Each structure stands twice: as structure tokens, then as C-alpha cells.
Amino acid sequence: MIGRNDSCWCGSGKKWKKCHYPEFPADLTLAQQYLKNYRIVLKTPEQVEKIGRACKITAKILDELCKAAKPGVTTQSLDELSRQLHSKAGATPAPLGYGSPPYPKSICTSLNEVICHGIPDERPLQEGDILNIDVSSIVDGFFGDCSRMVMIGNVSEEKRHVVEVALRCLNLAINVCRPGNAIWQIGKAIEDYATSCGCSVVNQFVGHGVGISFHEPPEIPHHYNQIMTPFAPGMIFTIEPMINAGVREGILDPKDRWTVRTKDLKPSAQWEHTLLITEKGHEILTIP
Ligand code: MF3
Ligand code: CO
């Protein structure tokens, strides 16, 4: 029997441990393998429970904000309502002070040609607007993240189309999420469908692992990609496709360094859920 420090049986002259010494990945739990290979934390049942609670509260707050989004209401007043709802629920808005420059508000409100990260301001909502409200909340140290579109009164055919296509993209993507499938299938489901509808898929922003931190591995691209990471029970991540009526390119506002608008100023839409992978498939956590 040769030892780890003896020369390898293959004749390379290297030590066995540096050469053909077998690795036993089976010795590692799935959680250890995901951490080692992908830096993904598979959540324990206790973590799932707490992240689930955070997600439910996040979704309830989003629900209330969507109901309040009516003609004449400013996005600033939605931000104020969001702060009240967070406080009442014992939750902290994750965006407030996040990043660099520090994000100034408690939610993102992205109107019409704004792809994402729109900052609430004094502009009143008006008939014909489409608005994304994005709520991310911290509850008991755990994170939830979701967003929806609201159509204000009657909107143009182009706007309604992009809103509906974006929602179908999210649902098609959710339906590929189960053990045995892999991350690339999300981008495939979304980009196949969006392009078949004459829309484009933003590739400058991605979904993300979430729960213990606001943004954690893995990245979840919504466009075509080759990320082979298989879904495993205990993975928690967002899917948040940004779908454009025109070109996919977004331009960052140089003044506030947050607001991202479509390059051609055509409308953009986004819907977002936080998802848990289970043995059987998935569970949508951000349901009120
Ligand atoms: N769902 C968005 C994201 O994950 C929320 C952005 S909040 C912001 O990026 F603070 F980063 F703007
Ligand atoms: Co997100």
C-alpha cells in the first residue's frame, strides 16, 4: 500500500497526493460542494423559514404600494408610504443607503423608459404611465426582494405589450427552476420568448442569490448564457427580467448615477420574484 507522500503509481515521479490521489467529493455534503464550487450558500431549513418570512412581508408591502399607485400620486409619496409600511412591519428597506453613491430612497420606482433603479421624486403619476415598483426588505436580518409593474389608467399598446411580455418571461423562467435543470435555462426561456415577441432582454443587470445578504452568488442572467450550475434544493435567488420594447442597451444617468434608461427611450418593463428551489421543484417566496 503506497502512502500519500510516496511517488505516484503512474510513474510521474510526483507524490501520489499531488498526482493521482483520488478526491472524494462524495465526502462533501451538497451544501459543502455548492459553497466550494460556486460560492453558493444552500440555505438550511431554519434559514429558509426566516427568509420566507422576510419575503412574505416584502411582498405585502409591494402589494400595498401597487394599490396606492394612481394618477396624481407622486413616486415620492410611494416612498413615504413604503417607509411607514416597513416600520409597521418591523422591517428595514434594503435599498436605503445601499451602494455607491448611497441609494437615497427606500424603494425603486422605474417609469416608462426607465429600465431599473429609478429614484422616487415629485413627479405625479399620470394616465398612460407604466411603473415598476421594486421592494427589498430586511426582516430579522434576512432579505426578500420583489417587484411588479402597475399600468396607470389606459396605456399605449406598446407599453401594455412590454408589460405583458415581461410577466410571461418571469413565469416561463420560474417554470424551468427545479433540480436537474441549470441556470442557463432561465436565460434561454426568457430570451427565446421575449425575442419571439419583438422585444429585447437587458443584459447589463442580472438576478441574484438573496436571503442572507441583499446580493449573493449566484448571478442569474436573463439573457442567453452558458452557466451550467445545476439548481439544488435550498438555493434562493431572484429572477427579475428587464424587457425592452426597443433595443436592449441601457444608459446610466450621469447625474444621479442610479437611474438606467433605455438607449432609444422606448418603454421597459420588469417583474421580480424571490424563489426557493425544493426537492420537487420550486416555491415562490414573494407571495403576499
Ligand atoms: N431588485 C433590485 C436589485 O436587486 C433592487 C435594487 S435596489 C438598489 O438590484 F438599491 F440597488 F437600487
Ligand atoms: Co433584485
pLDDT of the residue at 27: 81
Find the mean pLDDT for residues 96-110: 98
On whether both 207 and 227 belong to a single domain, the answer is yes
Q: How far apart are CA 241 and CA 273, in angstroms?
A: 10
* Atom of ligand 1 minimally distant from the CA of 145: 1
pLDDT digits (tens, 9 = 90+) for 125-144: 999 999 999 999 999 999 99
On whether both 175 and 215 belong to a single domain, the answer is yes
pLDDT of the residue at 226: 97
Mutate to test the pocket of ligand 1, among 62, 96, 108 (most ligand atoms within 8 A of CB): 108
Radius of gyration of the CA atoms of the chain, in A:
22
| CATH number reported for the structural domain that contains residue 104 in this entry | 3.90.230.10
Per-residue cell: 205: 443587470
pLDDT digits (tens, 9 = 90+) for 149-180: 999 999 999 999 999 999 999 999 999 999 99
Per-residue cell: 135: 421592494
pLDDT digits (tens, 9 = 90+) for 209-233: 999 999 999 999 999 999 999 999 9
- Residue-range definition of the domain harbouring residue 172: 40-284
On whether both 22 and 146 belong to a single domain, the answer is no
Pocket of ligand 1 from Cβ distances under 6 Å: 95, 98-99, 103, 108, 117, 134, 136, 145, 208, 240, 272
On whether both 5 and 111 belong to a single domain, the answer is no
On whether both 49 and 129 belong to a single domain, the answer is yes
Look up the pTM and report it: 0.91
On whether both 192 and 93 belong to a single domain, the answer is yes
On whether both 3 and 61 belong to a single domain, the answer is no
pLDDT of the residue at 3: 83
On whether both 103 and 15 belong to a single domain, the answer is no
Q: How far apart are CA 223 and CA 230, in angstroms?
A: 17
On whether both 145 and 268 belong to a single domain, the answer is yes
Query: How many domains does the chain divide into?
Result: 2
* Atom of ligand 1 minimally distant from the CA of 136: 5
On whether both 63 and 158 belong to a single domain, the answer is yes
* Burial state string for 18-40 with b = 16 or more CB within 10 A and e = fewer than 16: eeeeeeeeeeeeebebbeeebeb
Asked whether the predicted pLDDT for residue 25 surpasses 70, the reply is no
Q: Output the CA–CA distances (angstroms, integers) from residue 76 to 2, 129, 145, 175, in the order listed.
A: 72, 16, 20, 35
Q: Which of 149, 151, 103 lies closest to 241 in space, CA to CA? A: 149
CA of 31 to the centre of ligand 1 (A): 27
On whether both 22 and 129 belong to a single domain, the answer is no
CA of 20 to the centre of ligand 2 (A): 43
On whether both 128 and 185 belong to a single domain, the answer is yes
Find the mean pLDDT for residues 37-57: 98
